[in-house]
Amino acid sequence: MLAPVLGLLIVGVLVWMVVHLVASSTAPQQTLDRRERAELEALRALVDDLKETAWQHRELDSALSVVVIDTIREHERRRRELG
């Protein structure tokens, strides 16, 4: 019972880290080279995958899944508003 909760907690921390990295790497004053763009796209794909994983396993810990999904959605919403 503790393992799924711990797993979702780890996913939550990873999501926060990726969201933080993506947010800091998309600052308007920076220009990205091809390698950085590829890394950014990989991070965005990872965030999408983590969001999907949280949704698929929401029965393990629905509250944590909601937090993870809402955190990602809030970041995406803010990014759209700024960009």
All structural domains of the chain with their residue ranges = 32-83
Distance CA 78, CA 67 (A): 16
Cα–Cα–Cα angle for 38, 66, 24, rounded to 5 degrees? 30
Q: What is the pLDDT of residues 24-55, one digit of tens each?
A: 765 555 677 889 889 889 998 988 888 888 88
Q: What is the pLDDT of residues 57-79, one digit of tens each?
A: 888 888 888 888 888 889 888 88
Higher-pLDDT residue of 9, 55: 55
pTM summary value: 0.55
Distance CA 55, CA 11 (A): 12
